[in-house]
Structure formats: structure tokens, C-alpha cells
Structure 1
């Protein structure tokens, strides 16, 4: 059965993998998912990622026996897109988390989008 929302599926695979204390999870490949996973790696929410065959292997990160990612929330959905101007980019958990936006300059973390003075579609929040 085809996946209706592939980004929500990716976030759910990561969340479920961490709850089960897996070392890594496999995610079907897409350029948008690569951009999101790259931001997560740069911000320290995952250890690393690799592209193998037609999937992305995400190495999950733990602090002791607890996952580094406390929560993830999909904001824009296929049936309801959420767009924000640069002045309304949210501060997630008072700066302890990040938001990821799809902008005219590519997929960016909220702080980077603010620096580049661009708004866009609010994809998800990670804390």
C-alpha cells in the first residue's frame, strides 16, 4: 500500500526505532528526506546517515540508554499546508528544539531560514 505522507512515515520510523532502542533504521530514499536527515545530523539529533541502494540508513543517537530526540511533530500535512513568513518562524521548546522549513532556497533549519530572511512551508519540529 502506498504511503500518503512520506515525511510523516520517516519521522515515525525514527521515533519507533528509538523507542525500540535500535541502532539504525532504514527509510525509503527521496531528496526531501535526505535534506531533513542532513539537518538532523548537523544539529546533533542523529549520529550519521548513509545512502544504500534505494534507502537511507539513519544511525540513531542515544545519551546513555535514552534517545537524544525527545519528540518530533509533523506540522504541514498533505491536506493542510502551513506556511510562515520569516517573522513568524517558531522557536521550538524555547530554543531547545528546531523547526525545519521548505523554502525557496531549499530545506532549511528555522534559524538558518531566519538568517537568510526567507519564510516557507513549516515541515516539522524536532526537540
Structure 2
């Protein structure tokens, strides 16, 4: 199965699973998806994730979703930069999300990181998604 937007697919799976109040959701594994999940975990939006291997050798991430009093911790998760329209931000123009309550996930030359970390390292990059 070929995806044109693997990050968008993962975000949609998370969004749909939270609407159905699922405790976990699975998505195909890739390095970029793993880095985005690392940022979501470090920022406290998901409990964690584990990688498993299928019989055919392909990997899969099992993402544990996080709830607070039966309300999803992730209120909004949206894709910013898409294959049809890439969005980049310089170190000085990284957008803040919900006055600092949310996080923008950026793909920078120093790796995938949250917006506040990119600002502190004075590095810009592609804005992958926005979470709050």
C-alpha cells in the first residue's frame, strides 16, 4: 500500500481513534513517523508507542493515546505542510500554537523537534503539524 502523505495518514488515524475513544491505534512504521511520535510523547500528548514486526517483515507502531477525565489530551491535531504545499518557517518566524499551550512539530536540519526547541537552537525548517 502506497501513501502520498504518511504523516497526514498517521495524524488522521490518531484523530479518528480519539473520536471513537480507542486506547490505542496502529500505523505503519517509518523513521519520520517515529520522530514525530517521539516529539508527541515528550510533550505529553500521547502515552507512548511500541514498534512491532508483522509476518511479512513490515513494521507497525502501536500508539497509546492519552485521556484526561475521559477527554482526549489532543484537542486538535492538524497537518500544516502537505505534499502539495510545503510550509517552511525560519528560526525567527516559527509560529506559536495557542499562545504556547500547543506545539508545532518541525523537521529541521538538526532533526524533528518541537517549536520551542527549534527556537532555542535557532534553527528553522518544515512545519509538519500543529497539536494542541
TM over 0.5, shorter chain: yes
| Corresponding pairs, count | 127
In 1, Cα distance between the equivalents of 2:65 and 2:82?
25
Aligned structure 1 segments of 4 or more residues deviating by more than 4 angstroms? none
In 1, Cα distance between the equivalents of 2:48 and 2:126?
25
Counterpart in the other structure of 1:69? 74
The Cα RMSD (Å) is 0.8
Written as runs of structure 1 = structure 2, the 5 A alignment for 1:1-127 is 2-53=2-53, 54-127=59-132
TM-score (normalizing by structure 1): 0.97
In structure 2, the gaps of 5 or more residues are 54-58
In 1, Cα distance between the equivalents of 2:41 and 2:106?
16
TM-score (normalizing by structure 2): 0.94
